[in-house]
Structure formats: structure tokens, C-alpha cells
Amino acid sequence: MNFFSIFEERTNSRKFGVNIIYDIPKTALYRFIIRMGNKYSKTAVSYDGSATERLSGIEKYEDQVYGALRDAGYWVQKSDSLYSSPYLYRSIEDVGKCNLPFKVYLNPNEYSGIATETDINCILSILQNCDALSNVRLEFKKEVYDITKEEYRKVLEDAKNAVLLWIKEYLSNGLSISNIGVDFQKCFGIPIIPFEYSSDDYIAKEFVENLAFEYLENRGFPKSILRKAVFGFICKECGNIVTKSRSCAFVTNYKQQKCPKCSGEFERVF
């Protein structure tokens, strides 16, 4: 099981069986990672991380692969820095542009970026036929959507009822509201092109955080309470609210507790 499988398994555990289906057209674009062994490079590990070290003779790999990519109609833009690898574009006109639907970083041991499946297969074929490379494999592929940030917000708004159902499940399972935006992004964030390059999907995070606080306020938990409370309960009969700032006997045994106002049972809200 690789890193991406482990990450997906952990993410699915936070969905709580909720399935959010977005009304969004297919785009045939994918974020992908191709990994391989390269006899002309190695990974150098230092105190502050790791980096790819180019070895003597790497020009043989570059001449073969970059030449084949150019023959296939792509543009290889070499880096001005000794510590960076080239980028692959459709044409020289795309160099320097933001949020492109095709852009691939050509690390000697890992190609990554956004492309169509046809492009990915073409790149794979070129790499698999390179004498310097071994164990060339598609490590990761996930669909990416070519929509604007405004369209993204509209898609989330249209799915509001399903999102709210997940919020209720998330909170009632005892997870902190302070993490709800990040967890929603991981579970149900829509991978659109701008965020695939920056990895900061603030739209999904803000949407869910605002909706979660709105839901709790509608249940009777004002913001002044939410700033201090870690656990929140409400009586099913009279609506009496009980909050706790830390774990205690009430929190662990709330189902056995009776409301002091009406002797009703408590429901855990968060």
C-alpha cells in the first residue's frame, strides 16, 4: 500500500458514510505523478529535507527524453537554476502563464503536474523507452476540474444540503469544529486547477466553516459560547443547552444524563 492509498483510507474514514455528489462537468484533466528510477540521479538527504542530485552522464537521459518530448510536439523549458528541473508545456507561448490545464515538472525521478490522459500515456511511453530509466510507473492520478473560483462556490452552494448532513455527522462524532474546514477539503474539496498548483483550497474551507457555525447558531449555540466550548449538547425535549470546555463524566456518559429542566435525554451536537 503506497502513501496515496493510506491517505485515501484515512480520508474515507472522515466521510462518515456521506456521499456528496457535485453537479460539475467532466474535464478529462488529471493531476498525476509518474515515478521512476534514473541511473543518472540520486536522492540526497540532508538535515533540512531531500533533493535530487544529478550525476555525471545525465545529459544522455535528457537528450533522449527531452528530444522525444519535443518530437511529440511539447515544449521543454529548461530552468535557469542548477537546483530546479525543466517544465513541460504545450508551446513556448505558455511559459510563465498561471493556472494552465497542461504543465508538468520534469524531475529526473518524478514527473508531476496536470495533463489529459492522452498526454499522460504519451509521457509514460516516452519514459518507458528511455535506456536510463527503470521501474517507470504511474503512481497517482486524480481528476482536476477546469472551473473558476466563482463557479466552485456555486457548485458547493448547490450541494449545501448534503454538505450540511456531513457537518452534522462530523460534529456528532466528536471531532473539533476548529478542524472541520481542513477535513472537509481533504474529503470533499473539488480539485480545480488554481488550487492544484497552490494546494490551498480556501474556498471549501471557508464555505464549510461558515455553514458549520451557522448550523450551530441555529441550534441555539451563540458564537460567544462556541469560542469557549469544546463539547455541546442539547436536550431533545426542551432544547436546554449544556456545553463543556473539557472532557468529563458528562461528556463520556451524556446518554445516561437527564436534563435538569425537564428530565429529557441529551443529543450530542458537537
- 159-173 tens-digit pLDDT: 999 999 999 999 988
Q: Domain of 193? A: 149-268
95, 110, 144: which is the final residue of a domain?
144
Quote the pLDDT of residue 175.
86
Q: What is the mean pLDDT of residues 249-265?
A: 94
Q: What is the mean pLDDT of residues 230-245?
A: 93
Quote the pLDDT of residue 200.
81
Quote the pLDDT of residue 27.
86
Quote the pLDDT of residue 6.
59
Average pLDDT of the chain, as a whole number: 91
Q: What is the mean pLDDT of residues 106-132?
A: 97
Quote the pLDDT of residue 197.
74
Residue 83 clears pLDDT 80, i.e. is over it: no
Please state which of the ranges 13-27, 33-47, 97-111, 124-138 shows the lowest mean pLDDT.
33-47
80, 109, 144: which is the final residue of a domain?
144
Closest CA to 87 of 64, 101, 107: 107
Q: How far apart, in whole angstroms, are the C-alpha atoms of residue 93 and residue 192?
A: 22
End-to-end, the C-alpha distance of the chain in Å comes to 34
Q: Between 82 and 80, whose confidence is greater?
A: 80
Instruction: Indicate if 178 and 165 belong to the same structural domain.
Output: yes
186 domain-assigned: yes
CATH number of the CATH domain containing 97: 3.30.70
Q: Between 195 and 136, whose confidence is greater?
A: 136
Residue 174 clears pLDDT 90, i.e. is over it: no
Overall number of domains in the chain:
2
In contact, 87 and 75? CB cutoff 8 Å: no
Of the chain, the percentage scoring pLDDT greater than 90 comes to 74
Query: What is the pLDDT confidence band of residue 84, given thresholds at 50, 70 and 90?
Result: confident
258 domain-assigned: yes
Quote the pLDDT of residue 151.
95
129, 144, 159: which is the final residue of a domain?
144
Q: How far apart, in whole angstroms, are the C-alpha atoms of residue 167 and residue 169?
A: 5
Q: How far apart, in whole angstroms, are the C-alpha atoms of residue 254 and residue 264?
A: 11
In angstroms and rounded to an integer, the radius of gyration of the C-alpha atoms of the chain is: 25
